[in-house]
Amino acid sequence: MNLYHRKLYAFLRSIESIDWLGANISYFYQELACLQPHLTELKDWWDNKGGNTTARISSSSDRINLNSTTTVGQKDNISVRHPISGQGQNITISVFNQPIDIDDAILQETDVQKVFWWFWRYFPQLLEKQDNTNALLIPTHRILPDCPLHSYQSTVSALTGVIFHSSEEASKPYLFLFTFSPVQEFIKAARKFLDFWAGSYLLHYFSALLCFEVAKEYGPDAIITPSLWNQEIIDAFILQDESLIISTLKEQYNNPAENFHNNPQAQSLSTAGFPNVITVLLPNQEAVKELGEKLDKALKERWYEMSKEVRKAIKNRVKNKLEDQNEFKIILGQLAQDFPNYTLEELTKRTQPGFLTSEKKYLK
């Protein structure tokens, strides 16, 4: 049994820890091939060795010291509120009234890491198929109904991953913050709107790459900010990594790159949104040091690779223009306007046959 067995089991069992919901989803984890060999051990860990502690920690800030007076299983006229505006809405929850259908490919998959990634990313959509109106609005608690079910599940599995990282024995987790800068100086160096966007997007892209590096090692739920769930750039990374997807379901995974190319109105994949500060839950102090060094190295390597690609693109573009005499004459005309004191004869002399042969050494 490894880390992902505990994370997946906690992710699913956390639903049953919501007392007022009264949901029984034992058929989920009992039918998953990746969990079946370890069910007895996992149940003992959850019930008797502190596994369910992560569920209590995750919900403590919402429950405070008040218990819900709502009848267990009562799912009509449930009050929910927006976490920022406080605007209220009453909903009826029907998603757990009957067993939820799940694809056989997921049930039969034995790679627990792939199954966990699928549940973390697509379980809300699975619930939405059962109840397309209210499934994504299910609150964790009735006292302060501002935390959605999926966010709670992700928190429980994240805490499980750091508290019970290497064994069933609890350990002390750490909060890790990684930042890279300067940001404002980098972006404000732009002279055109396109350059401004490119600078912002480059920082966003690097941040997403680093987040994905963390997610592959500790799980996508371990990253507190920014949230990786339903982020199209992360979905694109997942689809490119065969070790994280169930191959027989590949057509069902979100494909942001394909959507972006096929839909001229699609903008989410080209929108910069990731911050330059990443917050992660880690299992111990040693992991903090190792991850800090790993991210620092990865960022510098990515930056160097990007700089080489940019230099190569500029170099090829200049070569192509110099080899086209008409293009080159246009450039000379522009230079003559920008530098009127420069001798035009000197510029035109360089358009004569043999110029490129003798000057190409400067482009190597």
The SS3 of residue 241 is coil
- CATH number of residue 289's parent domain: 3.30.70.2220
Q: Is 236 left (phi over 0), alpha (psi -120 to 50) or beta?
A: alpha
The total number of structural domains that make up the chain: 3
- Same domain for 270 and 338, yes or no, is no
68 — pLDDT class (breaks 50, 70, 90): low
- Same domain for 15 and 118, yes or no, is yes
pLDDT at position 305 over 60: yes
- Same domain for 312 and 201, yes or no, is yes
How many CB atoms neighbour CB 311 within 10 A?
Answer: 10
Strand ordering across the sheet containing 223-225: 174-179, 277-282, 223-225
362 — pLDDT class (breaks 50, 70, 90): very low
- Same domain for 164 and 178, yes or no, is no
pLDDT at position 3 over 50: yes
- Same domain for 27 and 155, yes or no, is yes
- Same domain for 274 and 339, yes or no, is no
360 — pLDDT class (breaks 50, 70, 90): very low
pLDDT at position 183 over 70: no
Question: Tokens at residue 191, please?
Answer: 């002279």
| CA pair distance 92, 256, nearest whole angstrom | 32
The whole-chain average pLDDT of the chain stands at: 82
Please write down the HEC assignment for all residues of 73-118.
CCCCCEEEECCCCCCEEEECCCCCCCCCCCCHHHHHCCCHHHHHHH
How many CB atoms neighbour CB 36 within 10 A?
Answer: 13
Among 150, 168, 186, residue at a domain's last position: 168
Question: Tokens at residue 134, please?
Answer: 């209210």
- Same domain for 149 and 189, yes or no, is no
Structural domain boundaries, residue 179: 173-317
Residues in the chain: 364
Say which residues have a Cβ less than 8 Å from residue 344's Cβ, sequence separation at least 6. 336
Say which residues have a Cβ less than 8 Å from residue 134's Cβ, sequence separation at least 6. 91, 92, 93, 94, 95
Question: Tokens at residue 322, please?
Answer: 């110099």
49 vs 304, more confident: 304
Among 133, 168, 203, residue at a domain's last position: 168
Confidence (pLDDT) at 51 = 82
pTM for this model (two decimals): 0.82
The continuous run of DSSP H or E covering 146 comes out as: none
Q: Which of 111, 101, 81 is nearest to 27 (CA)?
A: 101
Q: Which of 121, 112, 140, 114 is nearest to 9 (CA)?
A: 112
Q: Is 261 exposed, middle or buried (0-12, 13-18, 19+ CB in 10 A)?
A: exposed
| CA pair distance 276, 283, nearest whole angstrom | 23
- Same domain for 158 and 85, yes or no, is yes
pLDDT tens, position by position, 317-355: 877 776 766 776 777 777 777 666 555 566 556 555 555
100 — pLDDT class (breaks 50, 70, 90): confident
- Same domain for 201 and 88, yes or no, is no
Q: Is 79 left (phi over 0), alpha (psi -120 to 50) or beta?
A: beta
- Same domain for 179 and 303, yes or no, is yes
Tokens 């003992």 correspond to 44
- Same domain for 205 and 67, yes or no, is no
Is-contact 268 208, C-beta < 8 A? no
Helix intervals (H) in the chain: 3-16, 26-31, 39-48, 53-63, 104-108, 112-130, 149-163, 184-188, 193-218, 232-240, 256-262, 285-323, 325-338, 344-349, 355-359
- Same domain for 164 and 259, yes or no, is no
